Amino acid sequence: MTTLPGIAGVILAAGIGSRMGAVKQILPFRGRTILECVIDSAIASSLEKVVVVIGHRSDLIGPMLAGKDVTVVINGEYTHGQSSSIKAGLQALPEQTGAVLFLLGDQPLVTPETINLLLEAFRASQSRIVLPLFHGKRGNPVLFSRETFSRLEALQGDRGASPLFQEYAGEILQVTVGDDSIHFDVDSEEDYRQLLAREAEG
């Protein structure tokens, strides 16, 4: 992968996915799995390093990642919510990391181009938080600068990093993107059917 110095990606893929009723990370999509699609887009982008945080059914998911150019972190505290995976991912980053882009392991349609758009916006602005918008609605992935890391490490529960949006409200850069992939995650069987239908329609 080409590098944009100091920016790492952390893919959050440790959750149980209770609404799905299956291990959604390994559901097939585009000849791979949903999680592999997310990983491959991250690797194809300008991220300097890619960390994948797994937890639930790591015995199934871990072997699937062998040979990928990623650092795999097993979050033994994944039942404590997404904040535990955020912290596990941060702990795996090199000290010189200047920013982290958090990607969701169930958003297989996010492209390397969208990722790079966010990275380039951060490089130009050095904003504390950079997030994508489509039709005025916020989505994922979201980038956080090193200055926010201590606040990320203090998160608790399953709320993710959303509390920081209010704390850093004046230091957020919103970047408009050209498709709704930033809003589309696979949380349920219906979502998965919609994903497959979208792919079939081309």
Identify the CATH number of the domain in which residue 126 sits. 3.90.550.10
Predicted TM-score (pTM) of this structure: 0.94
Domain membership of residue 1 (yes or no) is: no
Contacts of residue 12, defined as CB under 8 A and 6 or more positions apart, other chains included, come to 53, 82, 85, 86, 89, 102, 103, 104, 105
Reported as a single tens digit per residue, the pLDDT across 152-181 is 999 998 878 989 999 999 999 999 999 999
What share of the chain has pLDDT > 90, as a percent? 88
- What is the average pLDDT across 173-201? 95
Domain membership of residue 163 (yes or no) is: yes
- Report the C-alpha gap between 200 and 22 in whole angstroms: 22
Domain membership of residue 94 (yes or no) is: yes
Q: Is the pLDDT of residue 19 over 90?
A: no
Domain membership of residue 176 (yes or no) is: yes
| pLDDT attached to residue 146 | 95
Domain membership of residue 106 (yes or no) is: yes
Domain membership of residue 2 (yes or no) is: no
- In terms of DSSP H, where are the helices of the chain? 34-44, 58-64, 82-91, 112-125, 149-153, 163-167, 189-201
Total structural domains within the chain: 1
Q: Using the 8-state DSSP alphabet, how is residue 157 labeled?
A: T
Domain extent for 46? 7-201
User: Backbone phi, then psi, for 69, in 5-degree steps?
Assistant: -80, 65
Domain membership of residue 20 (yes or no) is: yes
Domain membership of residue 115 (yes or no) is: yes
- Could you tell me how far CA 71 lies from the centroid of its own chain? 14
